[in-house]
Chain A
Amino acid sequence: MNIAVIIVNIALAAFLAVGLTPLFVWWERRVSGFMQDRTGPNRCNIGPLRLGGLIQSFADMLKLIFKEDFTPTHIKYKFFFTIAPVIVFLCSFLTFATIPFADNLVLDGQAFIMQAVPNELGIMWFLAFAGLAIYGIILGGYSSQNKYGLLGSIRASAQVISYEAAMALAIISMLLSYGSIHLTDMVNAQAGTFFGVIPMWGIFIQPLAAIIFIVCAFAETNRAPFDIAEGESEIVAGYHTEYSAMRFGLFQVGEYAAMSASSAIIVTLFFGGYQIPWLDTQTIQSNINYVILAVMILLPIKIFIFTRWMKKNNKSKGEDRSRELETKILTIAFWSIAGIIVATLGVFLATGLGENGVNIITAILQIGTFLIKFFMMAFVYIWVRWTVLRFRYDQLQMLGWKVLLPLALLNIVVTATFIVVGGS
């Protein structure tokens, strides 16, 4: 039992951090396409299965794996050149390790922390590894002995000194209001509601800190509007100019892993983490039958809406009828999954659940809630990337030092005063 929970946690963290890269690449392309009134990749397929173009990401990944891994001869320090993408990848991946997916799971009186590395470091771990990932980028550009790579590295260094201070200070004000560095405690502090209506999420407790932190998190992941280290229109490809094949792929995976980790930490700090709005852990556990019933009703409705949308929009053009076939296959697949879930839940309702069962179902529901919030935040990342233009790096420094840093300090002072006067 002990091992099983740990394995589930690690598998979930690995899947969310790394396994979702093809999915996010696909989202990035299709969402940007739809935002610009074009389709994005929609042709790649295995038999009739196209999955809306998702197969394209797998094809691209295969291509990157089987490409020649080329190291230019002018590179003196091959070790640093090789290790740079590994640092980016590993640090972004490890950032995910302390995100709690659900409330502490109690099985046979023993409590498990639902995170990949069950330590108490919480937000400090995130700060440490998120800060380290940028050194991989700096090292990669520096060791590739290329002017563009070096320029990218310089930009990355300029970037790291401009956002990191403001980000840490924004977190400090959150620590003051939550009174803990442990992420599970933070999420539990966001249970409850204000006036019974507004969920007591971090973004409503500390809106200023939320804005500062989200802006800095965008800078930290090296994505638009702060992808100045890459800057493909000015410095070719910046730090990964000299990289090819899977080494380049590792940078890419690292970027998306960083995006996943940032979305997860933003959700955890400011959007109530795994908390279902208006339903804290105790409420779910005492009303488990109603919650199961609600899921049993809502799931088929969702599937119905989705399959109808798919039938309307997944149409073939011309002679080929494979998209209709795909729609049929997917409709059957989704309905059978929904049927199995509803049937299982029905059995649980009929036979009743033990204490462990109730706890596990609660944990699964909370993981689901976390995932929904997480995917919405990842969508926001993509959405912002295709809306906002790239900052110049002096503009980013100006923003970091002259705007965000004073605001974060002000926020700390206000929060501290409030806590001391309020006496909590």
Chain B
Amino acid sequence: MGIKVVPRHGKSFKDKLFLPAIAGGMKTTFKHFVKNLKDVDNLKTMQYPEVQPDDLNERYRGVHRLTKWEDETEKCVACFMCATACPAECIFIEAEERFDEHDEKRPKEFKIDLLECVFCGYCVEACPCDAIRMDTGIFSFTGSTREEFVLDKQALMANERSKDLSND
């Protein structure tokens, strides 16, 4: 392995003149300007509210959802693992007894305060039953009052897996 000598710039007359370098830079910016002026579709920006981002991937952490069994009941067994793992302490669970064939415990109420949530995904990692996921792909959640940002069990169960993600 030989020694790589990095060439030093700035000593030659052409470099000291500055003007060729400035002209080169101006050529680059002008090329971009003309390209974009000729056809605005060359612009890299998305016109956001009309055009939605299409590059969501499997690892994207959006708004949470509670997964369900085939009979539309929650998989959650109210073990409090997610609430314990949560660094922002934004998950509030109230447990009750369950009498169907799936389990013996269920959440009576399951609330997530999105204003507190830091979207770290630790709740998803902590869950032993795969009952909470963040694959809805919802990246902008809006509301006009603070109360609207506290999602209850119905809202979390109504969220579905994002259509942009593959379903296997």
B44 touches A37 (CB 8 A): yes
Tell me the B23-54 residues at the A interface (CB within 8 Å). 25-26, 28-30, 32-33, 36-37, 39-40, 42-45, 47, 49-51
Tell me the A311-325 residues at the B interface (CB within 8 Å). 312-313, 315-320
Closest to A384 in B: B26
Q: Which residues of A contact B33 (CB under 8 A)?
A: 31, 34-35, 383
What CA separation (Å) do A313 and B40 show in the bound complex?
A: 6
Q: Which residues of A contact B44 (CB under 8 A)?
A: 37-38
What CA separation (Å) do A34 and B42 show in the bound complex?
A: 10
Closest to B42 in A: A37
Is B22's beta carbon under 8 Å from chain A? Answer: yes
Closest to B21 in A: A388
Q: A39-B45, A318-B50 are in contact. Are A34 and B36 (CB under 8 A)?
A: yes
What CA separation (Å) do A38 and B43 show in the bound complex?
A: 6
Q: A37-B44, A317-B50, A318-B49 are in contact. Are A387 and B26 (CB under 8 A)?
A: yes
Distance in angstroms from A218 CB to nearest chain B CB is 11
Is A386's beta carbon under 8 Å from chain B? Answer: yes
B50 touches A320 (CB 8 A): yes
What CA separation (Å) do A35 and B25 show in the bound complex?
A: 11
Q: Which residues of A contact B36 (CB under 8 A)?
A: 34-35, 37
**Per-position 1/0 for A299-332, Cβ under 8 A of B:** 0000000000000110111111000000000000
What CA separation (Å) do A38 and B45 show in the bound complex?
A: 5
Q: Which residues of B contact A282 (CB under 8 A)?
A: none
**Per-position 1/0 for A372-407, Cβ under 8 A of B:** 000000000001101110000000000000000000
What CA separation (Å) do A38 and B51 show in the bound complex?
A: 15
Q: Which residues of A contact B51 (CB under 8 A)?
A: 317-318
Tell me the B60-116 residues at the A interface (CB within 8 Å). none
A312 touches B39 (CB 8 A): yes
Is A36's beta carbon under 8 Å from chain B? Answer: yes
Q: Which residues of A contact B49 (CB under 8 A)?
A: 318
**Per-position 1/0 for A202-232, Cβ under 8 A of B:** 0000000001000000000000000000000
What CA separation (Å) do A320 and B44 show in the bound complex?
A: 21
Contact of A37 among B25, B26, B39, B43 (CB under 8 A): B43
Contact of B22 among A313, A315, A318, A388 (CB under 8 A): A388
Q: Which residues of A contact B40 (CB under 8 A)?
A: 39, 313, 315
Q: Which residues of A contact B42 (CB under 8 A)?
A: 37
What CA separation (Å) do A150 and B25 show in the bound complex?
A: 33
A387 touches B47 (CB 8 A): no
Distance in angstroms from B159 CB to nearest chain A CB is 24
Q: A312-B39, A384-B26, A387-B25 are in contact. Are A317 and B32 (CB under 8 A)?
A: no
Closest to A319 in B: B50
B30 touches A383 (CB 8 A): yes
A35 touches B43 (CB 8 A): no
Q: A317-B50, A318-B49, A318-B50 are in contact. Are A34 and B37 (CB under 8 A)?
A: yes
Q: Which residues of B contact A386 (CB under 8 A)?
A: 29
A383 touches B45 (CB 8 A): no
Closest to A225 in B: B22
Distance in angstroms from B113 CB to nearest chain A CB is 32
Q: Which residues of A contact B25 (CB under 8 A)?
A: 387-388
Distance in angstroms from B8 CB to nearest chain A CB is 19
**Per-position 1/0 for A135-147, Cβ under 8 A of B:** 0000000000000
Distance in angstroms from A390 CB to nearest chain B CB is 13
Contact of A35 among B29, B39, B45, B47 (CB under 8 A): B29
What CA separation (Å) do A34 and B31 show in the bound complex?
A: 10
Distance in angstroms from A395 CB to nearest chain B CB is 11
What CA separation (Å) do A241 and B25 show in the bound complex?
A: 31
Q: Which residues of A contact B47 (CB under 8 A)?
A: 39, 317-318
Q: Which residues of B contact A211 (CB under 8 A)?
A: 19
Closest to B44 in A: A37
What CA separation (Å) do A318 and B52 show in the bound complex?
A: 10
Given contacts A35-B32, A38-B44, 19 further A-B contacts (CB under 8 A): A34-B36, A35-B29, A35-B33, A37-B32, A37-B36, A37-B42, A37-B44, A37-B45, A38-B45, A39-B40, A211-B19, A318-B47, A318-B50, A319-B50, A383-B33, A386-B29, A387-B25, A387-B28, A388-B25
9 of the cross-chain contacts (CB-CB < 8 Å) are A31-B33, A34-B32, A37-B45, A38-B45, A317-B47, A383-B30, A384-B26, A387-B26, A388-B22
B interface, CB within 8 angstroms of A = 19, 22, 25-26, 28-30, 32-33, 36-37, 39-40, 42-45, 47, 49-51
A interface, CB within 8 angstroms of B = 31, 34-39, 211, 312-313, 315-320, 383-384, 386-388
